[in-house]
Chains A and B, each alone.
Chain A
Amino acid sequence: MSGKGYDLGLIWAFLANKSEEILELTGQHIVVVIISVLIAAVMGVGAGILVWNKPTGRGFVIAVAGVILTIPSMAMLALMIPSLGLGWVPTVVALSLYSLLPIVRNTIVGLREVSPAVLESAAAMGMTPLKVMFAVQIPIAWPVILTGLRVATQLAVGIAAIAAYVAGPGMGTYIFKGLSMLGAKNALNFALTGTICVILIALVLDAFFILITRITTSRGLRD
């Protein structure tokens, strides 16, 4: 479409025409991100709880998650294909792996930030170690853990767009459709719609996290 003016009327017609498909892809995009982040949350928060007070374990977990995040997403998705094939499964696995680092790191940071005096008081009052973790330490670390989930979600929304190339679900499908139609009338419409929808999904999920954080954080922990 290079060199040509852009007609707003045409994009409205395009959007109206495709509204159902756009909604469906947007829904898929959100669902795949949520599933992946939830899986990563279980693994990441769990790992964080296990290693937060063990320097070696902590270093190892963060190093592994760091290496995963360094791997280019195209490479990660490609590596999944021989064993997991195409579609939802490799997408969810890849997104979960990428989401790990922010979640595990924030869990560790959050748990470590809880003042030793508070932990000592909790133990001295007769709380069992499990009770100290779940009634005191995690609630106090909660805002930091949620921030990890929030960052992970933003990350996953973007990477999910690339996953469309391996037949993953979501709005990335439109972006790649735009590419495959290079030169055709609707190419830019597809790519633009896909990109903007992904941005909107990211912003909406971010707002959702701000809301969740407000609702679930004790008033005593807010600034």
Chain B
Amino acid sequence: MTNLAQTQTQLLSVQTAPSQKRFFTAKRFLTPLLIVVALGGLLIFLAARGEPDKIEAFALNWPYMLARVWEHTVLAVSATLLVAIIAIPAGIILSHTHNRWVRGFVLGIANMGQATPAVGVIILFALIFGIGIPTAIAALVIYALLPVLRNTMVGISQIDASVIESARGMGMTTMQILRRVELPLAVPVILAGFRTALVFSVGVATIATFINAGGLGEVIIVGLKLSRPAVLVTGAIVVSCIALLMDWLAGLAEDHLRPKGV
């Protein structure tokens, strides 16, 4: 999952760009369908197997699964929100920095970050700061920071220089230009980064279970360790559906928040 930062930023920004006009695009419609089919299929499969054995029953019950889903969602969403709070302002400041050293340093770190395996970051953090949810969130934030930071910088610096110049020519202050010109024009790109970060957090949160941060990774690992394929598959399908759902919701938000005409 190394550089989903870059990859997904590109992927998602490319994918979402043209889907503004039509409301019922294939993707909008197919993702929920896919989720319903996957979960429905899972329920039927589990029902058809009959009564779970003792070990399976430990995981395959509603309270346990819902608790894991809740943990997973909280972990991913809180990390993403923290990322937004940190990375968007940082990206704005960096995009206005003309110091080549600062930009080079940030880009260098970003490139290193792309090559760093998520599982390595999480486990190293756990070894250094101890296991648990705070460490998991910290690792997730560090990891999901890149796409949002990068997209904010790209989104602002890609704006046509003549637009900024004419805004300045009309007498806008730097803050007014930022608020009324730069940010609105950069919103689609920033949102694409945010969406990437969200999907990404759901994925990395699965690994967070290795350091006792709970979530649906736990279901997978229980299934794996105790050789219960049904448990394993249940965890995998549910977490996949959460990822697809988050991506879908973020896509809707993206289309909704995108300023008209952009």
Contact = CB atoms under 8 A, between A and B. Distances in A.
Q: Do A and B come from one complex?
A: yes
Interface of A: 1-2, 59-60, 62-63, 66-67, 69-76, 78-79, 81-82, 101-102, 105, 109, 151, 154-155, 157-159, 161-162, 165-166, 172, 175-176, 178-179, 182, 187-188, 191-192, 194-195, 198-199, 202-203, 206
B136 interface: no
A66 B11 contact: yes
Size bracket, chain B contacts: 35 or more
A81 B122 CA distance: 24
Nearest to B114: A154
Contacts of B31: 67
DSSP class of B's interface residues: helix, strand, loop or mixed?
A: helix
Given A70-B240, A105-B14, A191-B124, 19 more contacts: A2-B127, A63-B30, A71-B240, A73-B206, A78-B223, A79-B236, A151-B10, A154-B7, A154-B115, A158-B2, A158-B115, A162-B1, A172-B117, A175-B119, A179-B127, A182-B131, A192-B124, A195-B121, A198-B2
Interface of B: 1-4, 6-8, 10-11, 14-15, 26-27, 30-31, 34, 112, 114-121, 123-124, 126-131, 199, 202-207, 210-211, 216-217, 220, 223-224, 229, 232-233, 235-237, 239-240, 243-244, 247
A162 B128 contact: no
Contacts of A161: 2, 117, 119-120
B123 A151 contact: no
B1 A159 contact: yes
B11 A179 contact: no
B2 A202 contact: yes
Nearest to B220: A78
Contact of B118 (A69, A162, A191, A202): A162
B48 to A, nearest CB: 15
Given A2-B127, A78-B235, A195 B116 contact: yes
25 contacts: A2-B129, A59-B26, A63-B26, A63-B30, A71-B240, A72-B203, A75-B206, A75-B220, A75-B239, A78-B233, A82-B233, A155-B3, A158-B4, A158-B118, A161-B2, A162-B207, A165-B119, A179-B127, A187-B127, A194-B120, A195-B124, A198-B115, A198-B116, A198-B117, A203-B115
